[in-house]
Chains A and B, each alone.
Chain A
Amino acid sequence: MGYIKINQKKVTQDLADELQDICPFNAFDYVDQYLSINAACKVCKICVNKGPEGICEFIEETQVQINKKDYKGIAVYIEQKDNQAHKVGWELIGKAKELALKTEEPVYAIVIGNDVMKIAEEALNYGIDKVFVYQNKAYRNFNVENYTNVIEAFYRKYKVNIILVGGTMLGRSFAPRIAARLRTGLTADCTKLDIKENGDLLQIRPAFGGNIMAKIHTPNNRPQLATIRYKMFDAPPKIKRFGEIVEEPTDDIIIKTTIELLDTIHQPKVKDINDAEIIIAVGRAFKKQSDLDLIKPLQKRLNAEIACTRPLIENGWFDPRKQIGLSGRTVKPKLIINLGISGAVQYIEGMKESELIITVNHDSSNKLFDISHYAIHGDIYDILPELNKQLEVLEQ
C-alpha cells in the first residue's frame, strides 16, 4: 500500500522523456515543467526501480494488518457438470497438497450439486483431509448466484487461507463473483503457484496476451483466490484414503436467482485435443487449406491429432476446439510437432508443458525455437514432401 512520489525539483525534460519511455502504462504527463502521474498508473514501480535515480520514490503507507495465522487450509472447488467432476479439480488438489506441505495446512475439496456423493468419494482418493459437500435440488445445474452463496457460507464458517478454482469457462465466470462477494483479490489463469511460510500465495500469470509474465500476491486479504487452467498441473496419484466427507446443511443458504437456463445445445463432438498424446500443430506457414494434405502420411503414421494456431481458426480451416493457446486449449502431449508456427506467447502458453517439442521453421528467430527440444531449420514445403518420401521408404 502506498503511492509514488515525484521529486519535482530534479525533473528535466530529458528525465521526463525517459520516464515516459519506460512506463508501460503511459502514466506520466509532463505539462508546464510539471511531471504528474495519471490514473493509468498501475503502481508497477518500474519508474522507481528502473527509472532515473532520485525522481520517483515509492512511499509505503501502513495499513491495519490481518492476522494470517487465523486463516488455515487450502480449499479446491471441484467443478461438476451432470454430476461428472471436471478433471482440473484433481489437478488442483495435487498442487494444493504440494503447497500445504510447506505451510502444514489441511487440504479440502468443496463439492456443490445434487446427488454428488460419488464425486466426494472420488476426491478422497487423492489424499485430502476433508470434502465439504453442499447438496440441494436447486444446485443440480450450476447457477452463479446460488453457488456464490454456498462458497460464501463455506468461507464464513471455515476461514480458509486459499481457494483454488479451475479456470474453465464456468470457473472464470464464478471465481470473480466469489472474489467480489468476499472483497478479496483474484489472480486469473495462474501458470505457477508457490507459497511463503506465512501463507502468502505467490501467483504467476501471463498478461498482455501472454507476452509478459506477472508475479502477483495478495498480501493483506483472505481468502487468496486464484484460477488455474486445465492441464497446467498433474493430478496426484490415488492413494489410500484418510480424509472424511462432511455434509453441510444448506437450509440457511439463500436460494434465489433470476437466471433461468432454458436450453443446452451440445455442439457436435470433435475429438478433444486436450487429452491427445501426439499432436501435429500447424500454423500460418500453410498457404492454402489443401496444403494440409502434406501432413497426412505423418499423421497417419504417428496416429496424431491435428491442432492449429488461432489464425487458421479465423480462416475457418478448423473447428475452434482445435486451437492451442491462451484463448484455445492447453495441451500437454508426449510429443508435439510444430510446423510453421511463430510461437506467439499466447500459443506457447498453451503447449509449453509438452514432453517432447519438435519445431520446424525457416526463420531462425522465431520464438518457438527457444522452448523446443529440437529446432529444425527448414522450409515445410521442402521438408514435408521429403519426409513423406522417407516415410514411404520406411513402410516398404
Chain B
Amino acid sequence: MNIITCIKQVPASSNVKVDSNTGVLIRESNNVKMNPYDLYGLETAFQIKEMKESVDIHAVTMGPPSAKQVLEEALYMGADEATLVSDRRFAGADVLATSYTLSQLIDHISNYDMIICGKQTTDGDTAQVGPEIAEFLNIPHVPYVVDIIEINRDGIVVKSTYDTYDEIVSVKFPCLLTLDKGSQVPRLPSYKRKQIMKTHQIETITLDDLDDQNPNHYGLNGSPTQVEEIFPPDKRSDSIQIKGSNKEVTKEIMDILAKNRYL
C-alpha cells in the first residue's frame, strides 16, 4: 500500500504583527517548523504502516529549497521517501495553484492508494488544500479524520469529527483524508532513523518534470485569488479605562451592569 503525506513548513510562531504605520509584518523570529496538523497526518501514516504489511510512505512538500528541512524531519520520523516540488515559477500560488501543483506532483509519483493531508495550516490557515487536491485528482476526500477504524483491501473506514457529532465513513481507494487532532501522539525524529536516512536523496521536482508544463497554470498566474493588502486587526477607539482600588473598580463593574439593566 502506498501513502503520500502532504506536509508544509510554516513559521514557528504565528505571533506576527503588522506595523500599522508601515504595513510591514513584524515577526518574533524567522524560525520555521512543520505544520502541527501534518504531524498528525504523518503519525497516522506511521500507525497504518505498523498495522499493515508493506506500506510505503512518501512525504511531499511544495515550497522553497529550504523546505527540505520538513522532509528530512519526516524521513527521520519514519517516512520511506521524500520529494520537494520547487520552482520560482510557483511563487505567489494561492490555494488553487498550490493544490494543482501538488496534484501534478502526485500524478508524477503516480503510484498511490491514499493521500494524507493536515486539516489546515497555521499560516495560510484556509483548510482548502486537501479537498482541492482530491478534486484535481478526481478522487473522494474525507475531512476531519481523527481515527482509522479499519483498513480493507480496497478501502478504509475512518472516524471524522464534526461540531456536535462524529461520522463513521467508509471510502474506497484511492482517496484523500484530512487529519484533525485525535488520539495520535506524533513521534519525534529518531536518532537511529537519522543515521539510516542521513544520506537518503530527497528528490527535487520542478515544473519541467510535471505533465502539464503550461506556466500559466502555476504560481501567481495560475492563482485566481490575490492578496491585495495586509493590515492589522482593528482597534476600538472608545474603550473606557477603569482603574482604581479594588473596591472602586468592582463598584464600577456593578454600575456598568446595572446601567445596562443586567442587575
Contact = CB atoms under 8 A, between A and B. Distances in A.
Given A49-B23, A259-B142, A211 B14 contact: yes
A218 B25 contact: no
Interface string B132-170: 101110001111100000000001010000111111111
A216 B141 contact: no
B52 interface: no
Interface stretch (B43-51, B70-78, B84-92, B104-112): B84-92
B188 interface: no
A378 B242 CA distance: 9
Contacts of A46: 23-25, 230
B17 interface: yes
Contacts of A371: 234-236, 239
Contacts of B86: 38-39
B126 interface: yes
A315 interface: no
Given A267-B166, A390-B254, A278 B262 contact: yes
Interface string A367-389: 00111111111110011001100
Interface stretch (A87-95, A118-126, A167-175, A286-294): A167-175
A222 B124 CA distance: 22
Interface string B207-229: 00000000000001101111111
A264 interface: yes
A207 B169 CA distance: 31
A289 B198 CA distance: 46
Interface stretch (A69-77, A177-185, A233-241): A177-185
Contacts of A217: 225-226, 228
A172 B141 CA distance: 13
Of A37, A42, A170, A181, most buried by chain B (CB within 10 Å of CB) is: A42
A338 to B, nearest CB: 12
A44 B223 CA distance: 13
B230 A214 contact: yes
B228 A216 contact: yes
Interface stretch (A19-27, A108-116, A129-137): A19-27
B144 A169 contact: yes
A179 B220 contact: no
B6 to A, nearest CB: 14
Given A145-B140, A206-B233, A335 B125 contact: no
Given A41-B91, A212-B231, A382-B246, A26 B16 contact: no
Nearest to A374: B240
A84 B120 CA distance: 28
B115 to A, nearest CB: 14
A38 B171 contact: no
A3 B169 contact: no
A318 B223 CA distance: 41
Contacts of A257: 140
Contact of B224 (A145, A213, A218): A218
A216 B225 contact: yes
Given A321-B163, A394-B254, A374 B239 contact: yes
B69 to A, nearest CB: 12
A39 B88 contact: yes
Given A348-B233, A358-B256, A266 B124 contact: no
Contact of B246 (A1, A207, A321, A386): A386
Interface in A166-215: 168-170, 172-177, 179-181, 183-189, 202, 206-215
Interface in B166-182: 166-172, 175, 178
A63 B215 CA distance: 13
A3 B226 CA distance: 13
A161 interface: no
Which of B128, B169, B224, B228 gathers the greatest number of chain A CB atoms within 10 Å?
B224
Nearest to A377: B243
B81 interface: no
Give the top 6 A-B pairs by smallest Cβ distance, nearest first: A185-B224, A43-B92, A185-B225, A180-B135, A221-B224, A176-B128
Given A219-B226, A266-B165, 20 more contacts: A22-B24, A27-B91, A41-B88, A50-B24, A61-B221, A173-B143, A174-B131, A175-B128, A186-B95, A186-B128, A188-B126, A206-B125, A212-B232, A215-B231, A217-B226, A369-B241, A372-B236, A378-B250, A386-B250, A390-B251
5 contacts: A24-B25, A40-B64, A168-B163, A185-B224, A212-B233
